[in-house]
């Protein structure tokens, strides 16, 4: 890597940062190690010294995207803390092109991913939920955010003249008037408003579960000698 004619060693952080810039400009489908090395003005081999393949690079990029999710939460009731965590994750995902697809397609959790998950589990355990249910709930929350945001970012890639009604007519499917009205509302509503609605339903369900489920002992065992 060179800046103003001065050769500098390529750092791992440089590669991740350039990958994020590439995602914002070109999208995930266009990202290749060859194109990224060209953007960094280095030989492709320089990237492989840091990342053995594209999958390893995307793992690091995904963890960078969710940086800050696990920052300390304000002193609020646990349902509001869960709401903040869900909103933080969505904000992080939509801040980069195809951010949700990148994070959703990785399976090797990095430090930021683990810190964010740990914080959510701590909040839920603090509300009285045993660790196993706290883990399931955390995954359900994150999956909701990922799924919603993947669809949200996919809609941004649709052509401006996209018309779901015309597309449905070409498929020859007869849909109910209720579905048509519902889909009009779905496609015509601000994505953040739709997200907040779904997140609110999730939290209402959690609060109902918390209020009606009898307490269950599932303490973490101390395995120290």
* Cβ proximity of 10 and 40 under 8 Å: yes
Q: What is the pTM of this model?
A: 0.84
pLDDT for the residue 15: 94
Supply 145's token pair. 């955010």
Taking the C-alpha atoms of residue 51 and residue 193, their distance in angstroms, rounded to an integer, is 38
Supply 188's token pair. 């015509």
Nearest residue to 116 via CA among 85, 147, 74: 85
* Cβ proximity of 15 and 51 under 8 Å: yes
pLDDT digit string (tens) for the chain, length 225 residues:
444 444 567 899 999 999 999 999 999 999 999 999 999 998 878 889 899 999 999 999 999 999 999 999 999 999 999 999 999 999 999 999 999 999 998 877 899 999 999 999 999 999 999 999 999 999 999 999 999 999 999 888 777 776 777 777 778 778 888 988 888 887 778 899 999 999 999 999 999 988 887 665 544 444 444
Neighbours of 179 (CB within 10 A): 13
pLDDT for the residue 127: 94
pLDDT for the residue 67: 96
Taking the C-alpha atoms of residue 120 and residue 133, their distance in angstroms, rounded to an integer, is 12
Each domain of the chain, given as residue ranges in start order, spans 78-212
Nearest residue to 36 via CA among 55, 17, 49: 17
At 7, give phi and psi (nearest 5°).
-75, 130
* Cβ proximity of 146 and 103 under 8 Å: yes
Taking the C-alpha atoms of residue 136 and residue 144, their distance in angstroms, rounded to an integer, is 12
pLDDT for the residue 8: 64
Which CATH number is 78-212's, of 3.20.20.70, 1.10.357.10, 3.30.565.10, 3.10.580.10? 1.10.357.10
Residues 51-59: contacts with CB under 8 Å, at least 24 apart: 51/12, 51/15, 55/106, 56/108, 57/15, 57/16, 57/19, 57/33, 58/19, 58/102, 58/105, 58/106, 59/106, 59/107, 59/108, 59/110
């Amino acid at each position: 890597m060179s800046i103003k004619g001065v050769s500098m060693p390529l750092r791992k952080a440089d590669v991740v940062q350039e990958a994020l810039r590439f995602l914002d400009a070109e999208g995930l489908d266009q990202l290749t190690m060859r194109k990224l090395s060209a953007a960094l003005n280095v030989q492709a081999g320089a990237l492989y010294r840091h990342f053995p393949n594209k999958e390893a690079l995307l793992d690091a990029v995904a963890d960078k995207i969710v940086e800050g999710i696990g920052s300390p939460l304000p002193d609020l009731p646990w349902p509001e803390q869960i709401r903040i965590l869900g909103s933080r994750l969505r904000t992080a995902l939509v801040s980069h092109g195809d951010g949700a697809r990148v994070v959703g397609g990785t399976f090797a959790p990095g430090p930021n991913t683990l810190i964010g998950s740990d914080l959510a589990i701590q909040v839920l355990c603090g509300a009285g939920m045993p660790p196993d249910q706290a883990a399931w709930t955390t995954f359900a929350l994150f999956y909701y955010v990922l799924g919603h945001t993947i669809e949200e970012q996919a809609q941004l890639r649709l052509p401006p003249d996209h018309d779901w009604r015309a597309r449905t007519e070409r498929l020859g499917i007869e849909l109910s008037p209720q579905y048509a009205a519902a889909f009009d509302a779905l496609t015509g509503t601000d994505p953040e408003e739709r997200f907040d609605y779904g997140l609110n339903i999730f939290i209402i369900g959690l609060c109902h579960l918390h209020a009606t489920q009898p307490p269950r002992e599932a303490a973490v065992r101390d395995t120290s000698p």
